[in-house]
Amino acid sequence: MSCCIFCGCATVTDASEPVHALVFHLDHQCSARLYWRTDIWGLGVMLYEIITVRLAFEGRVIHRQFIAIQAASCSAALLVLLFGLCLVHTAQAQYSVEARTVDHGLPQNSVNAILQSRDGYIWLATNGGLARYDGVSFKTFDVGNTPGMTSNRLLSLYEDREGGLWIGTENQGLMRLKDGAVTSYPEAEDIKNRAVASIIEAREGGLWMATATAIVRFKDGVFTSYTGGRELPAGLVPWSRSMVEDRRGDLWVALNDGLLRLGESGATTYTTRDGLPDNRIHAVREARDGSLWVGTERGLARLHDGSFTTYTVKDGLSGDHITYITEDRSGSLWVGTDGGGLMRLADEEWISVRAADGLSDENIRCVTEDREGNLWVGTTTGGLNRLKEKKLRSFGAAEGFPGASVVPITQDRAGDVWVGATCGGLFRFRDGRFTTYQIKDGLPLNCVWALSADRDGSLWIGTWGGGLTHLKDGRFTTYHPDNSGLSGKVVKAIWQDGQGALWIGTDHGLNRFQNGTFTVWRAGDGLLNERINFITGDSRGAIWVSTNAGLSRFKDGVFTNYTTKEGLSNVSVRVVYEDAEGTLWMGTYGGGLNRFKDGRFTHYGVRDGLFDDTVSQILEDDRGNVWMSGNRGIFRVSRKELNDFAEGRVRAITSISYGEADGMINRECNGGGQPAGWKTREGELWFPTIKGPVVVETAKIKTNPLPPPVAIEQALIDKAAIDPRGEIEVKPGRGDLEFHYTGLSFVAPEKVRFKYLLEGYDEAWVEAGTRRVAYYTSIPPGRYSFRVIAANDEGVWNETGAGFAFYLRPRFYQTGWFYALAGLSLIGLVWLLYKRRLGKLRRSHAAQQAFSRQLIETQEEFSRKLLASQEQERQRIAAELHDSLGQSLLIIKNRIALAQSDIDEKETVEEQLGELAHSATSAIEECREIAYNLRPYQISRFGLSKTLYGIFMRIKEVTDINATAEIDDVDHCLTDEAQINLYRIVQECVNNIIKHSHATEALLAIKRKDGEIALLIDDNGRGFASKENHTVDSGNGGFGLVGIAERVKMLQGSCEIDSAAGRGTSVRIKLSESANNITSESANNVN
């Protein structure tokens, strides 16, 4: 049974609790337990926490007296606690601690020495071998995998000026690691098979080493030993864990029986008689002010101006057993203890780092600061710890914040910061502590989602379901739809404009509260959606309203709406921020960041370098950085870089992110209420998280300007490891490459980004992100150079990076001479094939041409013979018709005429005979027509010119067409065959005019000039469409238009037929006199 130290109620303690447990309650609801510690430091911390913590519950600060304490001997302990309280502060709010043990790849958890080499690696001496750390993984060097190593139990490390790593072992002397090779020194008697606990470099060159039997000097390849009774005072045991050479060149050695000083005047020993708290000394260090700090098993001593000043737990130390001392770049002194953790002395104030702060073991063996300011702590059983100063300040339960998940944060006129919990009430932060306001104090509900500090010093509060509340002069006044004109009970957005009007966003529209009256705008008034999440104004007098469906701009009584159709990346807009240049920035839930300038949206997402696609708040510091919060944490981007991206000057942006390692209790930030973060007048940025508010003191944020050293740790070609130092020549293979590289920045090693390039293969740098390996497959033989560069968490690039060149030897069939030989062979083969093919093509072409000529000649001969045969047959038929049938019909006619003159019954017989005579006359005419069509005998009787004239003028005899003929004398100009063909052409055209043209005018013109005969037949009839294939049959054995073209071809002339629907038809034919056997004599005869 225990009693609460505040309320005095009886409490049953757990059986596993120590009997001296102190229990306290909050209004009889158990909240925490504090335990006595058996060591004095623990008691001091316990009492300090009891006295200083203010336990708040529902807005009331509990001040209770101790009623009962279940411990008989607590009075004396409390006096000690009170004494320690005045001297010690915890480091929980200042440093984050991250441990690395065998679970993370450390070979063994006892870390005896730590060193950062010039190339940037962290080296660790453990009881399980040598470990090299790059911030992500460990590489172990031990007797099993490293030739030359003599022991795995290592005590000390030192890097010389040449980059060699000296390693002191527990029982096998000294080793040196250089360029991957290990050298041991068995010839030194005082080192061989000895423990080398400390190694330092002498100012004049060489090394100082401390062993169990001697102080050893190594210079110019020679070992010189200093032992007790010879160079050192008699009886002195030179076993040392620490040495230092001061600025005067004197060597100070920590021994088990005092502090040894070796100088020009000889050896001097300092003990408790000289003011040291104890003779068993484990650490010695010279400070930048020239004083000497000495760590003993009973306290810390400072030697300054010839006298010692002692510090023990009575003076604020967490433990008296001092194991290590170092000084950081800021001049702070760090002291490691055995059992008391780590202590820091800065500005005459001690700050402790204990297990409660995250330290994996309070037994400290070594401490080292790296070049970026991280502190590395080696422990006895807890492995390696990294201490990093927190960049952010969080308020959780441990820091006195009584709430949990928060959203709205603002600052009032008095400078107080107000924080609203999602369902935990309202909190005011003043003078370093929080005051709580809840339902019992006048809030309508504890779910606070919006805050706005009025200019008159009052506060407006929006709750989820409780409406709008006004806190003024300590009194709460609430407005909701039941007692006012407020449109809804859920209030997530509040903003006050320049005229003092209050704009309120509810779940049922936009409200303006002015002069005690609410004015409401809804969807019917043009508002995009009635569920409002954020409201703000811009410098142009417009009001921007974020809804669940997008963004609405309200000005001059008119809403202008923006969704994804207008360019927004996402309709869920959580915040709108206007910068000093008037540019608007919109943070969305899932759509990243939007910039709105000159009517155009620019999107920023994870693919562009933005840390998170959720942006719940946007704040700007005084250095030109835009700070944002999201589900993944807090991050910042340079505003200049954001603008450069929008203007196309850069292709990506760099985000600097912050999380648990930087001081956040939980990295997830809240949003959806207003304002989800605030910039105070002091320049602090407050952000809400699911575990309380987080503060960024931007003036104290230290950037990391150091580009990370880059190293190629391993190179594999066709799965075989090669040494990536110097130019390598590799035997022929598949060309599969694998490169493992690292960037040595320890502030945030998980955020180091890389680019790599295989010169000779890649055309541009490959963005690798945080990936530390590059793969290539089937790379052809040739000379290549692999390069890799890296950037730290601040985006500072090491543009030089690391690289090495190599040559992939080709197989014999990949060599140049083989390619040349194969090329020549191929050219020869192609030439032979070409010649063979060319000959074949020539023969084929010749045969084809011969066949074509024969075919053409055959076709022409066939056409000629066909036409000649037709003409002969026509001539025979015409002759027979004319000479036989025609003559017979003529005789019949004549005899009928004779009979008519002799018959008595003349009237009757004349009528019958007249009909018979008429029939005979018609038969004779038809016979003549047939003969005329079959054989133009008129050519031989009257000549070609008159025959053509006569046939064309028949048009006027049988139709109403006005026919006109203009014909030069072309008799005797053409061969008989040519004359017949020309006659048939004109005859076909005449038939077409008579039967098909429906013309009123027709013209035949035949002109002879310059050895050519030009023929034109033209009518103004209905014509025909030229794209149609008109092959009009004359009905008299002609071939129509096709026949005309064929006859012109036989005459070796040209023919053009021009016709269009409704525009008549023109036939133009040109014949060459020479091509148709026209002689000059015949021409002269004609002329």
What average pLDDT does range 660-672 have in this prediction?
92
Label the pairing between strands 728-730 and 797-808: parallel
Which DSSP category does 932 fall into? H
CATH superfamily of 397-436+517-700: YVTN repeat-like/Quinoprotein amine dehydrogenase (2.130.10.10)
Residue type, 591: G
* Cα–chain center distance at 847: 66
Element (H, E) at 854: helix 816-880
What average pLDDT does range 241-254 have in this prediction?
91
Q: Is the dihedral of CA 967, 972, 975, 976 positive or negative?
A: positive
369-375 long-range contacts (CB < 8 A, ≥24 apart) are 369/326, 369/328, 369/329, 370/116, 370/122, 370/746, 371/116, 371/120, 371/706, 372/704, 372/706, 372/745, 372/746, 372/747, 373/328, 373/329, 373/702, 373/747, 374/746, 374/747, 375/95, 375/328, 375/334
Rounded Cα–Cα distance for residues 24 and 31 (Å): 7
* Least confident segment among 383-392, 512-521, 826-835: 826-835
Rounded Cα–Cα distance for residues 488 and 783 (Å): 73
The half-sphere exposure of 776 on its side-chain side, counting CA atoms within 13 A, is 23
DSSP for 511-534, written as a single string:
EEEETTEEEEE-GGGT-S-S-EEE
Overall CATH class of domain 941-1086? alpha beta
932 pLDDT band, cuts 50/70/90, is: low
Element (H, E) at 343: strand 342-346
Rounded Cα–Cα distance for residues 647 and 642 (Å): 9
What average pLDDT does range 214-231 have in this prediction?
79
773-811 pLDDT, tens per residue?
Answer: 999 999 999 999 999 999 999 899 999 999 999 999 988
What average pLDDT does range 563-577 have in this prediction?
96
Residue 392 tokens read as 């952010």
Please name which of 471, 470, 513, 466 lies closest in space to residue 490, comparing C-alpha atoms. 466
pLDDT of 77 > 90? The answer is no
* Cα–chain center distance at 613: 13
Please name which of 497, 576, 567 lies closest in space to residue 534, comparing C-alpha atoms. 576
More confident residue, 887 or 440: 440
* Least confident segment among 29-38, 321-330, 582-591: 29-38
168-214 pLDDT, tens per residue?
Answer: 999 898 999 998 899 998 777 778 888 899 999 988 888 999 887 78
Angle between helices 976-992 and 944-958 (to 10 degrees): 10
Contact present, 339 and 39 (Cβ < 8 Å): yes
User: What pLDDT score does 1087 carry?
Assistant: 34
- With b for 16 or more beta-carbon neighbours within 10 A and e for fewer, the 43-73 pattern comes to bbbbbbebeeeebbeebeeeeeeeeebbbee
Asked if the domains 710-814 and 941-1086 are classified in one and the same CATH topology, the answer is: no
Rounded Cα–Cα distance for residues 889 and 161 (Å): 143
pLDDT of 894 > 80? The answer is no
**Percent of the chain, pLDDT > 90?**
58
pLDDT of 1027 > 70? The answer is no
Q: How many helices (H) and strands (E) does the chain have?
A: 11, 77
Delimit the domains of the chain by residue range. Answer: 2-86, 96-391, 397-436+517-700, 710-814, 823-908, 941-1086
User: What pLDDT score does 1044 carry?
Assistant: 86
Contact present, 663 and 656 (Cβ < 8 Å): no
505-536 pLDDT, tens per residue?
Answer: 999 999 999 999 999 999 999 999 999 999 99
pLDDT of 862 > 70? The answer is no
User: What pLDDT score does 72 carry?
Assistant: 35
Rounded Cα–Cα distance for residues 669 and 723 (Å): 47
User: What pLDDT score does 703 carry?
Assistant: 86
345 pLDDT band, cuts 50/70/90, is: very high
Please name which of 711, 754, 724, 719 lies closest in space to residue 737, comparing C-alpha atoms. 719
895-915 pLDDT, tens per residue?
Answer: 676 666 655 666 666 666 677
User: What pLDDT score does 495 carry?
Assistant: 97
Please name which of 133, 129, 131 lies closest in space to residue 150, comparing C-alpha atoms. 129
Rounded Cα–Cα distance for residues 24 and 45 (Å): 16
293-342 pLDDT, tens per residue?
Answer: 999 999 999 999 999 999 999 998 999 999 999 999 999 999 999 999 99
1086 pLDDT band, cuts 50/70/90, is: very low
Phi, psi at 977, each rounded to 5°: -65, -40
What average pLDDT does range 809-828 have in this prediction?
83
Rounded Cα–Cα distance for residues 882 and 386 (Å): 133
Overall CATH class of domain 710-814? mainly beta
pLDDT of 869 > 60? The answer is yes
Please name which of 650, 652, 642, 655 lies closest in space to residue 611, comparing C-alpha atoms. 655
Contact present, 721 and 708 (Cβ < 8 Å): no
* Least confident segment among 28-32, 526-530, 743-747, 799-803: 28-32
114-147 pLDDT, tens per residue?
Answer: 999 999 999 999 999 999 999 999 999 999 999 9
Which DSSP category does 540 fall into? T
pLDDT of 53 > 50? The answer is no
pLDDT of 42 > 60? The answer is no
What average pLDDT does range 745-770 have in this prediction?
95
Angular region, 415: left φ>0, alpha ψ -120 to 50, beta rest: left
Query: Average pLDDT of the chain?
Result: 84
Which stretches of 881-1012 are DSSP H helices? 886-902, 906-934, 937-942, 944-958, 976-992
More confident residue, 438 or 860: 438
List CB contacts of 241: < 8 A, sequence separation 6 or more: 197, 198, 210, 254, 282, 283
834-861 pLDDT, tens per residue?
Answer: 888 888 888 888 888 887 777 676 666 6
Label the pairing between strands 299-304 and 728-730: unpaired
User: What pLDDT score does 867 carry?
Assistant: 65
Which CATH number is 96-391 given?
Answer: 2.130.10.10
Please name which of 514, 490, 530 lies closest in space to residue 674, comparing C-alpha atoms. 490
| pTM as predicted | 0.68
